[in-house]
A and B are shown apart, each in its own frame.
Chain A
């Protein structure tokens, strides 16, 4: 099984396990509720059965008491016994009433109650008759009635009937109690089983969770390792790039350095040649009066001077270029020292140093509110002074120069704009002006075509960008975007 599949299984089974556990809990809870209901029903039934039993027994008890008063009266004839008998009978009425109520509520069978009533009526009739005979003086007849055993048989029947009914109620009660106990047992079993299953589910859930956590940790470790590898790779690449860059810088330095030596020779010996020129030509013009020879000498001299002149101007130009390359390579190798810079202060100093040129060119320089940033001071001084110098250098003649330096903050970047209303740069040259030794427009100002190349190299090294917006005869705006917090790490990754 692949990791992702295993993981997704673990993730998918989590809710299923939780659902199962929850369903089991609900089942156990509802079972318990049902049982409580059942038990309370059963308790009700038990109480009812006891009530029924009591009702039935009360009938028998009352009749027995009445019978014993009757027997007592027949034996001694004292009126107290008759009184007791009458009192007992009046007590019988509510007992019978209760029995009827029980029957009406469905707790006793109608036929049974009817039979009980019938037997009671028989018994009461028998007892009433004895009292009547006794009162009429027929004492023996009354006693004979009792001795006849009819009343006893009735009582016996009644007792048997009530005993049977009581037994029925008892067995009903027992059955109910048994049922309750049975369901309590089942529920106990179900609860225990359910609890065990829930615990198993919880254990499975915990296990799955732990496994998936473990796998996640492993994946995280792998990711971290990959990241570390990536970082190492990036560092290696960056180091390679830096090395390559440094090699180019070194190469530029060595080449320009080595080119200087022969150049000094060329220039030196050209000077030496010039120094001996007059001596040579004075030697050549030794024969006086030879007009043709003198003429030829003069021509030779002109050719000589022309050649020397070309050599001289070419070497001077080459010297300038080599110096420029040397300066650039030196700048490229310079270590940056980031510090907190107040741009307004830096620009103020630059504007102060060019104020003479500005007043000569009839130009006005306005400086807005510039952001402060952490960067290399010398680089920013060079960038800004190059741009301001350029703005002053390439003003449009015939109108007052207006140079504006403004700034703003955009996120983690500081944006600085140097704009002028000078002669502008043709759109075709917008890229060219940033190339080394390339210049645009009328070549009527001194320069090597290094300034903007240098500025762009510096801005890039500082982790920023330089863009140009310009139209001929309207002016130019150079926009520098620099990180507000420059650090060496950034340069490494940019290098």
Chain B
């Protein structure tokens, strides 16, 4: 990614978060990654204390989102990001265990950009994350306005 894109990772399982980070790094992505293990903290960071999201104006964000969170659902976070004027152009990658067709459809309806099911098998999992990292290297992320 050309711009200093900030990767916001919302993942309640710290082990998963670590594995994801390692494998993204292995793909050669050196961008800053801000991890969150619950929805409340993630929302606070994304939308700021006033909930407007103005803090991230002129900053490129990429959100890596798990759907199963202890306090809220990833779907709710997705909805709020895509409804916010400042954040709605930031790419959101849903990375979750669910492969339910209804859930996938709902996420895309809400404006998610990529939906990836975490492979159960670790080798496949590592491989998928590495490919995602390679994907991150080539995509263009617009700055939030």
Contacts and interface: CB of A to CB of B under 8 A. Distances in A.
Given A257-B97, A261-B97, A271 B123 contact: yes
Contacts of B13: 261-262, 265
Interface in A266-280: 267-272
A269 to B, nearest CB: 7
Interface stretch (B40-48, B71-79, B114-122, B134-142): B114-122
Interface in B76-98: 97-98
Contacts of B126: 268, 271
A440 interface: no
A260 B15 CA distance: 12
B122 A267 contact: yes
A314 to B, nearest CB: 13
Contact of B19 (A263, A268, A322, A323): A268
B22 A261 contact: no
Contacts of B121: 267, 319
Contacts, number: 42
Interface range on chain A: under 10, 10 to 19, 20 to 34, or 35 or more?
10 to 19
B16 interface: yes
B98 A264 contact: no
A261 B122 contact: no
Contacts of B97: 257, 260-261
Contacts of A323: 120
Interface residue SS majority, chain A: helix
B22 A264 contact: no
Nearest to A322: B120
A379 B123 CA distance: 32
B19 A257 contact: no
A419 B55 CA distance: 71
A258 B123 CA distance: 19
Interface residues of B, number: 14
Interface string B14-37: 011001001000000000000000
A265 B120 contact: no
Nearest to B123: A271
A323 B13 CA distance: 20
A263 B16 CA distance: 10
A268 B120 contact: no
A261 B16 contact: yes
B22 A262 contact: no
B120 A257 contact: no
Interface string B40-80: 00000000000000000000000000000000000000000
A122 B120 CA distance: 158
Contacts of B15: 262, 264-265, 268-269
Contacts of B123: 271
A325 to B, nearest CB: 12
Interface string A238-270: 000000000000000000010011111101111
A322 B121 CA distance: 11
Interface string A66-107: 000000000000000000000000000000000000000000
Specify which of B13, B15, B123, B125 lies most central, judged by the most chain A CB atoms within 10 Å of its CB.
Answer: B15
B120 A260 contact: yes
B127 to A, nearest CB: 11
Nearest to A263: B120
Contacts of A269: 15, 19
Given A263-B120, A319-B120, 6 more contacts: A261-B16, A262-B13, A264-B15, A267-B121, A267-B125, A272-B19
10 contacts: A264-B15, A264-B118, A265-B15, A268-B16, A268-B19, A268-B126, A272-B22, A319-B120, A319-B121, A323-B120
The 4 closest A-B pairs by CB, nearest first: A265-B15, A267-B122, A268-B19, A268-B122
